[in-house]
Amino acid sequence: MTKESDSLITEEMRKAIGVESELGVIEVEKETIRRVADALGDPNPLWRDEEYAKRTSHGGIIAFPIAFHPSTRAGSPRVRYESPASGGVVASDEWEFFESVRPGDKITVTTRVVDFYETAGRQAKMLFTVTETTYKNQHGRMAMLQRRTGIGFGPRKQ
């Protein structure tokens, strides 16, 4: 068990748990959906062909998450806290999809820190940060939920 004073988790970080931060409202545009599909080389007509998409169960063109993910937008505010950990990688990304997102939808994106925990690594302590990001449409209905776990690293062991 780690002593409180040796913990990478600060009091400021503990206070950030549960605090929700709005990342912004994104209007989903048909052209953006098409450009992202082109960039990914995805020929699925559901992303670009209105006539085809109308004949599907979706009833029209829909977006996939990367077409309007807030990380593609500059200047998105985030929950702020100082952390003694450095570096960082995404350890896992889980998505749940509840409703199709369509051109013209206005998606409100919010995020919050769910948890911090740490464990001893071979060369340094590892700090895990768990966040949840919600994507709600203009009707207040949840379109998607993203759960992300990131890992940062404390000072190297001597």
State residue 84 phi and psi, 5-degree precision: -75, -10
User: 12, 38, 62 — which closes off a domain?
Assistant: 62
Residues 87, 44 share a domain = no
Q: What is the mean pLDDT of each successive set of 10 residues along the chain, which is 158 residues long?
A: 70 93 88 87 91 94 70 50 80 90 92 94 91 94 93 85
Give the per-residue pLDDT at 142. 95
- Say if residues 117 and 73 touch (Cβ distance below 8 Å): no
Q: What SS3 state is found at 18?
A: coil
We report the CATH number of the domain holding residue 115 as 3.10.129.10
Place of tokens 């988790």: 9
Residues 95, 50 share a domain = no
